[in-house]
């Protein structure tokens, strides 16, 4: 029997939590022979609902679920954790941009960053999902003294999956045929889903889809606005697909990346691709051992891409400016 992996999930009684916990507990994240401990963190008003979720986890009798600890104490919640999944925070409503949540959600990530630094396992990796996730991740990273910056990630995998699905539909192929899709910048309406480097069955997307106007227009705006479209349709923000994005992100960071491909996740920039150092920006990354990761070098950025990446980076700089008071 392998040693269990400990996963902490904040906002565990929320919409995303309700989908995510069962995927993790069933083995979808770490495999069918890997036991997991779940440390489930909620605020006091969410504890009653969390009790019900824990009952349902019990009722699944998952072979891979070792232990469940529900708590509203951050130190207990992050104790010994290998993966801190920071989901808990307020979602936006129709008519809002994700950055409108900064004032409400930003401060949550100071205490969580500190508690991760003080309690987590020495190999802890943190994935921020709560919006605006790039800047919340920046706040948590800043607060987590002693935890290396390269252990902090913010989620843009849902955007990558959305973009792949749109390209596959347009080309009339299965989404498995789409590779090398990078989301650049912020998980916001300025994000840039890069069709110029993406491939379909190994061929440049621009050779397979000749409708350049669609690629430059409707494709980009559909991906940028997909979260808002779901809120309009469902009356609540995406949850099952977001949970799936979390599972995919962790799987991609813990397993070698297929040869020649990459995945999208927002990481702390070291100035790669001209993106300002210290920002949490989405870019193409890969891992060969499922532990350390690297930014993919040599991805070509044409003038069209450059303008869009710069616009999203500019927004990240403005968000960073807006949360200066939360950064020590």
Ligand X SMILES: O=C([O-])CC(=O)C(=O)O
Ligand Y SMILES: NC(=O)C1=CN([C@@H]2O[C@H](COP(=O)(O)OP(=O)(O)OC[C@H]3O[C@@H](n4cnc5c(N)ncnc54)[C@H](O)[C@@H]3O)[C@@H](O)[C@H]2O)C=CC1
Residue 186 binds ligand Y (CB under 6 A): no
Joined tokens for residue 86? 């920071």
Residue 16 among known ligand-binding residues: yes
Q: Which is nearer to ligand X, 74 or 102 (CB)?
A: 102
**CA-wise closest residue to 155 among 176, 132, 178:** 132
3-state secondary structure (DSSP) of residue 210: coil
- Out of 4, 70, 113, 130, point to the residue binding ligand Y (CB under 6 A): 130
- Out of 77, 91, 106, 130, point to the residue binding ligand X (CB under 6 A): 91
Residue 147 binds ligand Y (CB under 6 A): no
Q: Single out the catalytic residue among 125, 157, 187, 308.
A: 187
174 is known as an active-site residue: no
- Out of 239, 280, 299, 323, point to the residue binding ligand Y (CB under 6 A): 239
CB of 162 to ligand X, least distance (A): 8
Instruction: List 193's β-bridge partners, or say none.
Output: 183
Number of shown-chain residues binding ligand X (CB under 6 A): 10
Residue 129 binds ligand Y (CB under 6 A): yes
CB of 242 to ligand Y, least distance (A): 4
Both ends of the chain: CA-CA distance in Å? 43
Instruction: Indicate which of ligand X, ligand Y, none lies near residue 42 (CB less than 5 to 8 Å, by partner kind).
Output: ligand Y
CB of 26 to ligand Y, least distance (A): 19
Residues 74-103 that bind ligand Y (CB under 6 A): 87-92
60 phi/psi in degrees, rounded to 5:
-85, -15
Residues 211-250 that bind ligand X (CB under 6 A): 227-228, 230, 237-238
Instruction: Indicate which of ligand Y, ligand X, none lies near residue 284 (CB less than 5 to 8 Å, by partner kind).
Output: none
| Residue 114: other Cβ atoms inside 10 A | 18
**CA-wise closest residue to 249 among 159, 165, 143, 124:** 159
CA distance 312 to 298: 20
- Distance of alpha carbon 209 from its chain centroid, rounded? 28
Residue 322 binds ligand X (CB under 6 A): no
Q: Which is nearer to ligand X, 231 or 279 (CB)?
A: 231
CB of 11 to ligand Y, least distance (A): 3
Which of the stretches 71-79, 91-99, 135-143, 257-265 binds ligand X when contact is defined by CB under 6 A? Answer: 91-99
**CA-wise closest residue to 58 among 21, 94, 30:** 21
Residues 100-139 that bind ligand X (CB under 6 A): 131
- Contact between 281 and 275 (Cβ < 8 Å): yes
**CA-wise closest residue to 179 among 199, 203, 205, 156:** 199
**CA-wise closest residue to 18 among 234, 238, 235, 243:** 243
**CA-wise closest residue to 231 among 55, 41, 15:** 15
Q: What is the CA radius of gyration of the chain?
A: 19
Joined tokens for residue 302? 């044409």
CA distance 92 to 41: 21
- Out of 238, 252, 263, 264, point to the residue binding ligand Y (CB under 6 A): 238
88 phi/psi in degrees, rounded to 5:
-60, 125
Active site positions, annotated:
187
Binding site for ligand X (CB under 6 A): 91-92, 98, 131, 158, 227-228, 230, 237-238
Binding site for ligand Y (CB under 6 A): 10-11, 13-17, 41-43, 46, 87-92, 108, 129-131, 133, 155, 158, 187, 237-239, 242, 245
């Amino acid at each position: 029997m392998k040693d269990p992996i400990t996963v902490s999930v904040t906002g565990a009684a929320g919409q995303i939590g309700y989908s995510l916990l069962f995927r993790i507990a069933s083995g979808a994240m770490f495999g069918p022979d890997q036991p997991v401990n779940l440390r489930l963190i909620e605020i006091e008003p969410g504890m009653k609902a969390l009790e019900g979720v824990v009952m349902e986890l019990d009722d699944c009798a998952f072979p891979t679920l070792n232990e469940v600890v529900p708590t509203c104490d951050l130190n207990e919640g992050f104790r010994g954790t290998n993966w801190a999944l920071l989901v808990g925070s307020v979602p936006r409503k129709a008519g809002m941009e994700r950055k409108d949540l900064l004032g409400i959600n930003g401060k949550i990530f100071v205490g969580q960053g500190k508690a991760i630094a003080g309690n987590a396992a020495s190999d802890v990796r943190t994935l921020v999902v709560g919006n605006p996730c790039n800047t919340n991740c920046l706040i948590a990273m800043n607060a987590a003294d002693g935890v290396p910056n390269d252990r902090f990630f913010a989620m843009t995998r849902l955007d990558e999956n959305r973009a792949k699905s749109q390209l596959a539909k347009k080309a009339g192929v299965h989404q498995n045929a789409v590779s090398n899709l990078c989301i650049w910048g912020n998980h916001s309406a300025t994000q840039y889903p890069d069709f110029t480097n993406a491939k379909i069955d190994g061929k440049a997307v621009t050779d397979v889809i000749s409708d350049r106007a669609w690629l430059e227009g409707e494709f980009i705006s559909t991906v940028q606005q997909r979260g808002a479209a779901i809120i309009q349709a469902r009356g609540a923000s995406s949850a099952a697909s977001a949970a799936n994005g979390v599972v995919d992100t962790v799987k991609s960071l813990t397993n070698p990346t297929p040869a020649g491909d990459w995945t999208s996740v927002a990481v702390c920039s070291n100035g790669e691709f001209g993106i300002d150092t210290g920002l949490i920006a989405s870019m193409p990354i890969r891992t060969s051992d499922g532990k350390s990761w690297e930014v993919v070098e040599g991805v070509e950025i044409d003038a069209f891409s450059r303008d869009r990446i710069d616009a999203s980076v500019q927004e990240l700089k403005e968000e960073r400016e807006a949360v200066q008071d939360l950064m020590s």
